[in-house]
Amino acid sequence: MSAEKLKQELKKLANPKKAKLLQGFFKTGKGEYGEGDIFLGIMVPIQRKTAAKYTDLNLKDIQSLLNSKIHEHRLIALFILMHKYTRADNKNKKTIYNFYLKNTKNINNWDLVDLSAHKIVGAYLEDKDRSILYKLAKSNHLWEKRISILATFWFIKDNDFKDSLKIAKILLNDPHDLIHKAVGWMLREIGKRDLKTEEQFLNQHYKQMPRTMLRYSIERFEKNKKEFYMKR
């Protein structure tokens, strides 16, 4: 198995009609967040199935996929990387984690971040110093900031909210809609597990939260409570 063989297989699976729709959905036009991203039009379940056949690819081959301008190449590279991480020993987990962080420039659309950050960065940092997340949160790089908050999804699932809340506070005034959505989503996930903790954060910060962030965070609230927060 090789990266080139995988690319050839994906070329045969391409669907130009779906590719056109996806390029619009993922904002690939000039000046948009996904500018220059190229799609083959392959749906995620098919990509997962294809990735499962290439889990023996080495990091050199995975790097060649991550360097590609084709979105599916990069997403499948991440699926393979996640598979490797779950089966790696501690030494190789560290190698994969470092490899991931060296490739943040290639993990450059919201689905790439959302499907992988918590399963590699979050999982690795579970029992380690998490200061790297604060560095990423303060980056000038959109996707590094999204990685910082999405990585904490791993901790949220274990009812560990402290880093999510601290990073949410750092990102409160971020100008980008994709950060607003990500922070709101993580606050909502906290609320699913501990509503009191989410509401404590909201009560302190809802007046300064961007509307999108606030709307995402209160999505599961009852109508009256939603109206209270949205009126501000």
For residues 27 and 220, give the distance between their C-alpha atoms in angstroms, rounded to a whole number: 27
Q: Find the range with the poorest average confidence among 19-33, 37-51, 178-192.
A: 19-33
pLDDT mean across residues, the chain: 96
Q: What is the pLDDT of residues 207-217, one digit of tens each?
A: 999 999 999 99
For residues 198 and 23, give the distance between their C-alpha atoms in angstroms, rounded to a whole number: 35
Nearest to 74, CA basis, from 6, 142, 152: 6
- Is 1-87's fold the same as 100-226's? yes
The CATH architecture of the domain made up of 1-87 is Alpha Horseshoe (1.25)
Give, in order, the Cα–Cα distances in Å from 10 to each of 1, 44, 72, 115. Answer: 14, 12, 8, 20
Structure token pair of residue 26: 């993922």
Q: What is the pLDDT of residues 71-99, one digit of tens each?
A: 999 999 999 999 999 999 999 999 999 99
For residues 20 and 63, give the distance between their C-alpha atoms in angstroms, rounded to a whole number: 26
pLDDT of residue 215: 96
Return the residue matching tokens 């790089």: 141
Q: Give the mean pLDDT of 122-138.
A: 98
H or E element at residue 204: helix 195-205
For residues 229 and 215, give the distance between their C-alpha atoms in angstroms, rounded to a whole number: 9
At 214 the three-state DSSP class reads helix
Asked if residue 113 has pLDDT above 90, the reply is: yes
Structure token pair of residue 10: 């994906």
Asked if residue 1 has pLDDT above 90, the reply is: no
For residues 205 and 198, give the distance between their C-alpha atoms in angstroms, rounded to a whole number: 11
Residue type for position 84: K
Residue type for position 119: K
Structure token pair of residue 212: 């999108």
Q: ∠217-25-183 over CA atoms, to 5°?
A: 20
The domain 100-226: what is its CATH number?
1.25.10.90
Q: Report CA torsion sign: 127, 129, 134, 140.
A: negative
The residue ranges of every structural domain in the chain are 1-87, 100-226
Residue type for position 25: F
Could you tell me the pTM of the whole model?
A: 0.95
Task: Please tell me the number of Cα atoms within 13 Å of 74 on its side-chain side.
Answer: 23
